[in-house]
Structure formats: structure tokens, C-alpha cells
Copies of this chain bind each other. A is one copy, B any other.
Amino acid sequence: SPWSRDLADVLKNLFVSVSSRRVPKVAKGARDFMPQEMIVREKAFKIITNVFKRHGAVTIETPVFEPKETLTGKYGEDTKLIYDLADQGGEMLALRYDLTVPFARFLATNSVGNIKRYHISRVYRRDQPVMTKGRFREFYQCDYDIAGVYDTMIPDSEVLKVLSEILSELPIGPFQVKINHRKLLDSIFQLCGVPEEKIRPISSAVDKLDKEPWDVVRNEMVVEKGLPGEVADKIEPLVMQKGKPLELLQNVLDSKQFAESPTALAALEEMRTLFTYLDHMGVLDNFSFDFSLARGLDYYTGVIYEAVLLNPEVGVGSIAAGGRYDNLVGMFSGKNTPCVGVSIGIERVFAIMQREAEKKTAKLRASETEVLVVALPTGKDQPPSIMQRMTVAQKLWDLNVRAEYLYEANPSIKKQLNYANEQGIPNVVLFGEDELARGVVQWKWMNEGSGKAADGNKQQNQTEVKLDELSGQI
């Protein structure tokens, strides 16, 4: 009937009108960052970048997308988490999954044989996001890697020194770095009789010993992965070893448990060199030699490590991880370039710092404005005060002072001072016709008693300054 057709049209139009005004969302697992959050991020980046530069590192940038084939075959079963771009009649592209594979590709593409570089940028994983646990689809990584042929353990030790300095300087509480050697762990499996093809699966079971008790891990090995029970039982006493690096190393050598594995003995010698270096750099106390540390990625070939925070309030779990990977560049160039590096899980760092910042009673300022330029409102027959404020602000900007004024032609003094208070702007430059005629302004400190002058004057929070001498006030 015509009536119901009309009603349908009305409803349809209403629906279109409402839905066109539906407030848009961000993509799943991605986030907008508000100015207050950016302040915390920039603070963390500054601390980290300073450490990187202190160690002579340079920075590079690579595209956010790579040809799909560059990423293929590098991440095992996690390849399914890669974001592909649509085929729009050109190349097959995908968003980068981490910064390590693009770094190896960068070395191959540009024939760079040695470099010490840092890279702070975003990566993309089509994972199930768990925002409360800090797992996102778009997130920052913060990588430091040394590529090149150098003497044993010298670059490795500097990567770990850099990691120690960063974790000490970030306000995230105490930490520990677990450390192991991929070849030592593989030797354990060989000595115990794990078949070659089961080494990586058994290794990934052992890696869970930081969260699960031995019984659970043994069950995974025997029931799920078909390892004979007696082999698992041989593994237990070996991988459960952990402790102070040099002490544990000596105990293990004294016990002769690796006497029959030249590979293990060589790895232990490398660890001794590494620990000695870390000792000379004053950071060995942060490390725990942990025979159960395995790290998931296939490409590691030497020392491996993982940093954890020790304060239970901030939650357990890894905050940084890395290791030596000598064969990844060769997958691109056919010529290996040895690399060692670390990746810092900066999103957790942000979360901890953000929580601390929010605890503080003082409001976190997003802007860094130092001065609000405030003028008495002018009379009806005069130009509005905005032009006076622009003239004075320009003098401050010329002196590289961070200054603002209200975006209103002729606001009241009260409104202007309220803004300074609300925004936490520490200084106000105040004037009326009288001051401008005399070429001066009143400099007012917004926090009572924070004035520089202490001449016994009642108005200690205010002083008169000549317009041409503003620079002396800053």
C-alpha cells in the first residue's frame, strides 16, 4: 500500500541520516593517541634514543610495506598474521611484521656490510588484539642491531650493555635479563637423544618453563610431541639449571656434563667471554644464565636473551628480547652478514609510564607553553586587544619562547588568567594601555612565591620588565 511505502521511505531516510552521522571508529587493534599520551611516548623515546646515540648508533628508515615475498618464509606459522595490501594491479605488498626482517633486507638491498643502527617505528600484526594486556595490531618496536664481521662477543656484549642502560634509565623498576646460547640448548637436546626433527618443537616446549611447571612441559613433550619419557627425564636436570652467570658456568664445566659435546663446550667458552665483557662494563649483575631460555624464532644462531621486569605490580612477562642471527641476511643476498640485536617492547614501557603519570596529583600538561600573553580589554572606540597581544607574542616567539594568547579579540582579564591556570602555564605577561605607553609589561609567575625577585615587595610573584629586555627574564 502507498501508506506503508511512505513509511518505509521515511524509515529508510531516517536510517541513512543516522548512519551517515555514526561516529567513525579506528580500525580494530589500532589506537588514536591523545596529546598527554604522546608526551609520555616522547619522553620514553628520548631516553632510549639517547642511549643508542651514546653508543655511536645511527638510524635508518624502511618502508611500512615490503614486497610480500620479502616477508614470506620468515615467521613460521605467524605468517598468517601478516597484513596484505589489496592487489590493485601492481605489486603484491604486505605491511611489515617486525623491524628485523626489513633490516636484513635493507642490508642486502643496499649492500651494507656493517652498521650499528637503531630503528624506532611501527609494525603490524593481524593478531587477536587484547588491549588490556597491551597486545595491539599496530604498535611500536624499538630495535638496536649490530651487523658486521667482528671479534667474538664484542658486539653481543655492547647490545646487552645498551639494553641494560635503557632498562635502568626508563622509570619501569627493576629488571633481569635471562641469557642462554642457542647452540648450548641444541647440544643438550642432542646429548639427551632428541631426534633432529624434534629439536625445534621440544625447544619451544622448554621455552614455556618460565610460565609452566616441569610436569606440564614434560607432558607436552611426551604426549603432544611424542618424545620418549626417558629422554624428557634426561632433559629436566640440564635445562632446569639457572643462576649467576660466571658461577653457574664454572659449576657446569666442573660437572663435566658437556664433556662429550664440543659444540656445547665452544658455546660455553663464548658465554665465558661474554660474561667477562659484561663484567668489565659493570652490568653483569643484571643477568641470569638460564638453560631453559629458548626463544621462539628459528633464525637465532648464537646467544639469546630476554629481559623481564621484577616488580609484580607492573605485571610479569618479557619487556625486551633478542639474540644473534648470522644467516638471515644470506636469505636475501646469498652472502651472510652476521648480526646481533635486541628489540624493546616499548608499548609495555608506555603503559607503565602512563599509569605512573596518571597517579600523580599534578595534571599532566600536553603543551609546553611557557608564557600566556594577557592584555586588559580595550574600550569600545579602540582596536581590540588582540593586536597588542600579537605584537608582544611576536617578541617572545622571536626569542624562541613558547607563548600563546587567547583566540578572542578582546577577552576579559579573568578569562585569560583562568586559561593560564587551567592549562598550567607557568608565566603570564600582562599589560594595559599604560604599560604599553611606557614600553613595559608585568611579568607574573602563576605559582605563588615562585618569583625570581625577593626584594620584600608584597607582589613577589610579579615584576615589571621593559619590552626590549624580555630576553633577560627568560
* B35 contacts A58, C-beta separation under 8 Å: yes
Known contacts A61-B33, A334-B21, A84 near B88 by CB under 8 Å: yes
User: How many Å lie between the Cα of A161 and that of B26 in the bound state?
Assistant: 33
User: Which residues 297-341 of A have a CB within 8 angstroms of B?
Assistant: 332-334
User: Which residues 73-95 of A have a CB within 8 angstroms of B?
Assistant: 83-88, 90-91, 93, 95
* B394 contacts A282, C-beta separation under 8 Å: yes
**Taking the complex as formed, is A264 at the interface, i.e. its CB lies under 8 A from any CB of chain B?**
no
- Partner of A151 from the list B108, B277, B409 (CB cut-off 8 Å) is B409
* B88 contacts A155, C-beta separation under 8 Å: no
- Which chain B residues border A197 with CB–CB below 8 Å? none
- Which chain B residues border A54 with CB–CB below 8 Å? 397, 400-403
Q: How far is the CB of A35 from chain B (nearest CB, A)?
A: 4
* B31 contacts A63, C-beta separation under 8 Å: yes
Residue from A32, A53, A62, A115 having most chain B Cβ neighbours under 10 A: A32
Binds B, one of A171-179, A232-240, A285-293, A384-392: A384-392
Binds B, one of A3-11, A200-208, A361-369, A447-455: A361-369
* A63 contacts B397, C-beta separation under 8 Å: no
- Partner of A277 from the list B24, B281, B390 (CB cut-off 8 Å) is B390
Known contacts A30-B63, A38-B60, A85-B84, A105 near B280 by CB under 8 Å: no
Residue from A34, A64, A400, A407 having most chain B Cβ neighbours under 10 A: A407
- Which chain B residues border A64 with CB–CB below 8 Å? 64, 122, 124, 138
* B108 contacts A24, C-beta separation under 8 Å: yes
Interface string of A122-136 (1 = CB under 8 A from B): 101010000000000
- Which chain B residues border A50 with CB–CB below 8 Å? 400
Residue from A50, A56, A62 having most chain B Cβ neighbours under 10 A: A56
* B117 contacts A35, C-beta separation under 8 Å: yes
Known contacts A32-B106, A407-B154, A280 near B390 by CB under 8 Å: yes
**Taking the complex as formed, is A12 at the interface, i.e. its CB lies under 8 A from any CB of chain B?**
no
- Partner of A88 from the list B33, B126, B390 (CB cut-off 8 Å) is B126
User: Which residues 360-412 of A have a CB within 8 angstroms of B?
Assistant: 366-369, 386-387, 390-391, 393-394, 397, 400-404, 407-409
**Taking the complex as formed, is A23 at the interface, i.e. its CB lies under 8 A from any CB of chain B?**
yes
- Which chain B residues border A333 with CB–CB below 8 Å? 21, 23
Known contacts A276-B387, A407-B154, A30 near B281 by CB under 8 Å: no
* A126 contacts B23, C-beta separation under 8 Å: no
**Taking the complex as formed, is A170 at the interface, i.e. its CB lies under 8 A from any CB of chain B?**
no
**Taking the complex as formed, is A219 at the interface, i.e. its CB lies under 8 A from any CB of chain B?**
no
Smallest CB gap from A384: residue in B: B151
**Taking the complex as formed, is A418 at the interface, i.e. its CB lies under 8 A from any CB of chain B?**
no
Smallest CB gap from A18: residue in B: B334
* B391 contacts A26, C-beta separation under 8 Å: no
Q: How far is the CB of A226 from chain B (nearest CB, A)?
A: 33
**Taking the complex as formed, is A148 at the interface, i.e. its CB lies under 8 A from any CB of chain B?**
yes
* B63 contacts A27, C-beta separation under 8 Å: yes
10 residue pairs, one from A and one from B, having the closest CB atoms: A21-B334, A35-B58, A150-B407, A30-B63, A84-B86, A56-B404, A56-B369, A33-B61, A280-B390, A58-B366
User: How many Å lie between the Cα of A106 and that of B150 in the bound state?
Assistant: 48
Smallest CB gap from A140: residue in B: B61
Known contacts A368-B53, A387-B280, A394-B280, A35 near B63 by CB under 8 Å: no
Smallest CB gap from A126: residue in B: B88
* A154 contacts B108, C-beta separation under 8 Å: no
* A280 contacts B30, C-beta separation under 8 Å: no
